[in-house]
């Protein structure tokens, strides 16, 4: 499939772009990448040239156009059904979808106060209660998923092999590293598994090589 184009933002900051990009990479898709630097005077204008929602990521596939990171991941899972981007079992898939949607729609305190910034380290002594609440919910999801599905299915990810749910949480993995969040054994192993995934490494390497710097970005 050679007519896929993914429009993304800066790799250091664009957490939503990372999710869609990971889904394509893990599916083994070959795709063209169009990177629009965020937070520039012409950013909105440049994104609007691709689609009227004014946000990245945007996936173009011939005449089809998909926006919203989770919808893109779903579309990629349908294009490449053999790559297991969702768990095969119906019940497991329903849970993985529910958790992915929870991530897509929620955790606003974490997103606001701990923006993704792959290159930086901002260890914090204390956290706002609502941020800590988000961290507690996420770490509980990770522990429960690993315990209930991950270990049983084999593999180091939440439901065993890498799924869309892991793509949805990949920016959180990066945030937990940037802000030095204290984690238990299970969560630490999971963070390492996501961080060391070849696709994640490819993205982070590119993030380090980017020259653009944005102050206090919330993406």
Ligand X SMILES: N[C@@H](CCC(=O)N[C@@H](CS)C(=O)NCC(=O)O)C(=O)O
Q: Where does this chain bind ligand X (CB under 6 A)?
A: 9, 14-17, 38, 43-44, 55-57, 68-69, 104, 219
Closest contact distance (angstroms) between CB of 173 and ligand X is 16
Give the tokens for residue 120.
Answer: 């930086």
Comparing CB distances to ligand X, the nearer of 70 and 92 is: 70
Comparing CB distances to ligand X, the nearer of 9 and 160 is: 9
Cβ atoms 143, 208 nearer than 8 A: no
Closest contact distance (angstroms) between CB of 3 and ligand X is 21
Closest contact distance (angstroms) between CB of 82 and ligand X is 25
3-class DSSP string for the chain: CCCEEEEECCCCCCHHHHHHHHHHHHCCCCCEEEECCCCCCCHHHHHHCCCCCCCCCEEEECCEEEECHHHHHHHHHHHCHHHCCCCCCHHHHHHHHHHHHHHHHCCHHHHHHCCCCCCCCCCCCCCCHHHHHHHHHHHHHHHHHHHHHHHHHCCCECCECCCHHHHHHHHHHHHHHHCCCCCCHHHHHHHHHHHHCHHHHHHHHHHHHCCCCCCCCCC
Comparing CB distances to ligand X, the nearer of 107 and 149 is: 107
Comparing CB distances to ligand X, the nearer of 114 and 193 is: 114
Comparing CB distances to ligand X, the nearer of 75 and 149 is: 75
Closest contact distance (angstroms) between CB of 30 and ligand X is 22
Comparing CB distances to ligand X, the nearer of 14 and 174 is: 14
- Strand-pair category, 32-35 with 58-61: unpaired
Closest contact distance (angstroms) between CB of 151 and ligand X is 30
Closest contact distance (angstroms) between CB of 43 and ligand X is 5
Cβ atoms 206, 10 nearer than 8 A: no
């Amino acid at each position: 499939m050679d007519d896929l184009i993914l429009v993304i933002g800066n790799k250091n900051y664009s957490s939503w772009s990372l999710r869609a990009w990971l889904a394509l990479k893990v599916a083994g898709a070959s795709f063209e990448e169009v990177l629009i630097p965020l937070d520039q005077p012409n950013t909105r204008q440049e994104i609007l040239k691709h689609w009227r929602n004014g946000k990245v990521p945007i996936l173009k596939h011939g005449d089809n156009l998909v926006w919203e990171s989770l919808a893109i991941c779903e579309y990629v899972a349908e294009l490449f059904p053999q790559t297991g981007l969702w768990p095969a079992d119906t019940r497991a898939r329903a849970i993985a979808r529910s958790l992915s949607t929870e991530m897509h729609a929620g955790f606003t305190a974490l997103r606001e106060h701990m923006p993704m910034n792959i290159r930086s380290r901002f260890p914090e002594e204390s956290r706002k209660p609502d941020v800590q609440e988000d961290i507690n919910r996420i770490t509980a999801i990770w522990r429960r998923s690993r315990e209930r599905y991950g270990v049983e299915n084999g593999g180091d990810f939440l439901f065993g092999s890498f799924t869309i749910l892991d793509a949805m949480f990949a920016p959180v993995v990066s945030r937990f590293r940037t802000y030095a969040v204290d984690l238990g054994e299970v969560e630490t192993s999971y963070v390492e598994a996501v961080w060391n995934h070849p696709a994640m490494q490819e993205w982070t390497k590119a993030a380090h090589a980017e020259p653009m710097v944005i102050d206090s970005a919330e993406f």
